[in-house]
Structure 1
Amino acid sequence: MSMQDRPAAADRAAAQLLLIDGSLVDTLLAPDAVAAAVEEAFILHAERRGRVFPVVREALPGGGIFGIKAGDVPDAGLLGFKAAGFWPANRACGGEPHQATIVLVDPATGRPRAIIDGNAVTTLRTGAAGGLGLRRLARPDSRSAVVFGTGVQARIQLRFALDLMPSLAEVAYVSGDGRPDPGFEALFAGRCRIAHTGDRNGAVAVSDLVITATPGPGALFETDAVRPGTHLTCVGADTAGKRELPEGLLARARLVVDDRVQARAIGEMQWAPATSAIELGDILSGKMAFQRAPGDITVFDMTGLALQDLTVGRLVFERARAAGRGVAVPWAW
């Protein structure tokens, strides 16, 4: 921006910041639009038009985790970050432990354009990313799945899987407390046959699709339980020290990640950093061909790209502004 392009004093005095809360975000987002924005983010990353900055991810004294994912797309005027983490004590007051806030910034001036509740964005963009992985990596005739976890991410990953894979008919799930979760079952009862299981290895052994969406406490099943032809969508390992997959599985699999650097630092790949990995964006952009053999085991190790939050956040911002929604706060400078 040249000196003559700088905002005039009157424009600076009239500047506004748009606040977009979670209830409004829910009304502005649809799965198809989110999937398109997430695919755009993967392709921007693959083409190196979008940059992903180093992730901040730190444990908090109270037992939670706080992180910042930031990035930009210079030729699209897109800059911003998501501050997010996990506050387990929120459960005691009936609140959601996962919390996220997205900030969109004007790259020319550094002034914030919008502050967006990032919870719904995170949920949908992660579900959409898992769906893109399924479309490119899983066997299209997959009929059975096992889901580890019954929380927000387990629900959205299974929702996208059922939307994208009409053949998926049998779903087993493993809950965190080892007991059936009627609320989880009720969400999907009309779309598939769903049942709780305590036999983790047995459920994996008969499943075409394995979804792991837990807090990442450790290996959820044994390596030998995974049969040839299985696809695994792995969500829970997003911090140093977390894991869901057993030792030795990545050596048997074709590994796909959203970002190699992040995956080595905080994803499943941290436990086998020398493993060869393909970035999903390279497949989606056509930079790399990917052919699945019937017996391949495929793993999509998802750590979440800042660019996904930015492209979906931009979608929310543009739709809110076009509809005259959100709370505009005077933000003079």
Structure 2
Amino acid sequence: MIVVPESAIADLISSAACFTAVEQVFAAMARNSAYNFPVVRESIGYADALYGFKSGFDRESLILGLKAGGFWPNNAKKGLTNHQSTVFLFDADTGRCRAVVGGNLLTALRTAAASAISIKYLAREDAKVLGMIGAGHQSIFQLRAAVQQRAFEKVIAWNYHPEMLGRLEQVSREIGLPFETVDLDRLGAEADVIISITSSFSPILKASQVRPGTHLACMGTDTKGKQEVEAKLVAASALFTDEVGQAITIGECQHAIAEGLIAEEDIIQIGAVIAGDAKGRLSPQEITLFDGTGVGLQDLAVASAVVDLAISKGVAIEVDF
């Protein structure tokens, strides 16, 4: 069995490699040759933590496995990231455990890759202003991945705790883009692309605040009850997601579904757009929304790529198991 510890991940895989892995697995999902198993995600009644499993199988690449972990909101006080996870890969022919891979950085990279993919296929080509809602650990990965997809000229941002926005400002300066802290009204009025990456359980952004032509990547809602944008905004948008089944149960679409504002058939799998089997944005005035719920196959795809890189570079740790 191969072990790739968390400390080794950063030196092994790039954001570009994660983008390719996630893009390919989304297309495989649309071809029904890769599928995710039902998600288990629950509050454990201790440390305010959410814990669960995401798993799946890709018949094309024969990638089989699961990610175990969740969200520990008090970890910052302990010098740890709130998201903690580990990926387990299994041999599809025998069922034996093939690899154990640290999943924290990979989770941030694969989540950022998903929103970047949505920008590539759904945002207007002339998008110039990037809006960020949220300034947690994953936000900087979202920002770095997003700016690779359009020629953005400015970054504007909002967060419940404004003092945390400094990390986004620093990354913006490193990239060479002006940065400004704004309120939600101004963010919605100016941004061509908006990425939300929060742990909110109540809507932050309203339909009245978003102008025509905006692309939204809602990346924080991955649990029943979570919500980043108003259900009316979801209903007013052309809807895309990583997996429809998750979008309507644990994703941003769950609330619009519950209120009867949209139907399951209104949501398009992003993989179908990637594969050319469905259209993306239909007009410059259309509001598009990507409901990024996070699927197990994303984690498995990037973890498998890391294992291959570790082997090729001679840094894989092999243990008897």
Query: Mean alpha-carbon deviation: is it higher for 111-120 or for 286-295?
Result: 286-295
- Deviations, residues 89-129 of structure 1 (Å, cap 9, x unaligned): 21221111101110000122221111000111111111111
Supply the AA of the counterpart residue of 1:49.
Answer: S
Question: Does the aligned pair in 2 maintain the 1:21–1:326 contact within 8 Å?
Answer: no
Which TM-score applies when normalising by structure 1? Answer: 0.90
How many aligned positions are there?
Answer: 313
Question: Does the aligned pair in 2 maintain the 1:103–1:114 contact within 8 Å?
Answer: yes
Supply the AA of the counterpart residue of 2:286.
Answer: D
The equivalent of 1:286 in structure 2 is 276
Residue 247 (structure 1) shift = 2.7
Query: Mean alpha-carbon deviation: is it higher for 109-118 or for 216-225?
Result: 216-225
Question: Does the aligned pair in 1 maintain the 2:139–2:168 contact within 8 Å?
Answer: no
The equivalent of 1:20 in structure 2 is 4
Q: What is the SS of the residue equivalent to 2:145?
A: helix
Residue 291 (structure 1) shift = 4.1
Which TM-score applies when normalising by structure 2? Answer: 0.94
Q: How far, CA to CA, are the matches of 1:219 and 1:240 in structure 2?
A: 14
The equivalent of 2:297 in structure 1 is 307
1:327 matches 2:317: yes
Question: Does the aligned pair in 2 maintain the 1:24–1:326 contact within 8 Å?
Answer: no
Query: Mean alpha-carbon deviation: is it higher for 170-179 or for 269-278?
Result: 170-179
The equivalent of 1:156 in structure 2 is 141
Q: How far, CA to CA, are the matches of 2:160 and 2:55 in structure 1?
A: 31
Supply the AA of the counterpart residue of 1:131.
Answer: A
- Deviations, residues 206-252 of structure 1 (Å, cap 9, x unaligned): 21111101112311122101110011010111000000001311121
Residue 180 (structure 1) shift = 5.8
* Greater Rg over alpha carbons, structure: 1
1:134 matches 2:119: yes
- Deviations, residues 140-196 of structure 1 (Å, cap 9, x unaligned): 111112211112222111111212212x11211112313363233111114211022
Q: What is the SS of the residue equivalent to 2:125?
A: coil
The equivalent of 1:41 in structure 2 is 25
Question: Does the aligned pair in 2 maintain the 1:80–1:102 contact within 8 Å?
Answer: yes
Query: Mean alpha-carbon deviation: is it higher for 249-258 or for 287-296?
Result: 287-296
Residue identity over aligned pairs, in percent, reads 34
Question: Does the aligned pair in 1 maintain the 2:281–2:288 contact within 8 Å?
Answer: no
2:211 alignment partner, one of 213, 227, 230 = 227
Question: Does the aligned pair in 2 maintain the 1:145–1:171 contact within 8 Å?
Answer: yes
| Unaligned runs of at least 5 residues, structure 1 | 1-16
Supply the AA of the counterpart residue of 2:248.
Answer: R
What root-mean-square deviation, in Å, do the aligned CA atoms of Structure 1 and Structure 2 show? Answer: 1.4
Q: How far, CA to CA, are the matches of 2:130 and 2:226 in structure 1?
A: 23
Supply the AA of the counterpart residue of 1:267.
Answer: G
Question: Does the aligned pair in 2 maintain the 1:262–1:303 contact within 8 Å?
Answer: yes
The equivalent of 1:67 in structure 2 is 52
Question: Does the aligned pair in 2 maintain the 1:179–1:196 contact within 8 Å?
Answer: no
Supply the AA of the counterpart residue of 1:77.
Answer: L
1:202 matches 2:192: no
Question: Does the aligned pair in 2 maintain the 1:58–1:66 contact within 8 Å?
Answer: yes
Q: How far, CA to CA, are the matches of 2:289 and 2:114 in structure 1?
A: 13
Question: Does the aligned pair in 2 maintain the 1:137–1:292 contact within 8 Å?
Answer: no
The equivalent of 1:13 in structure 2 is none
Q: What is the SS of the residue equivalent to 2:216?
A: strand
Following TM superposition, where does structure 1 have runs of at least 4 consecutive aligned residues deviating by more than 6 angstroms? none
Residue 327 (structure 1) shift = 2.1
1:239 alignment partner, one of 217, 220, 223 = 223
The equivalent of 1:12 in structure 2 is none
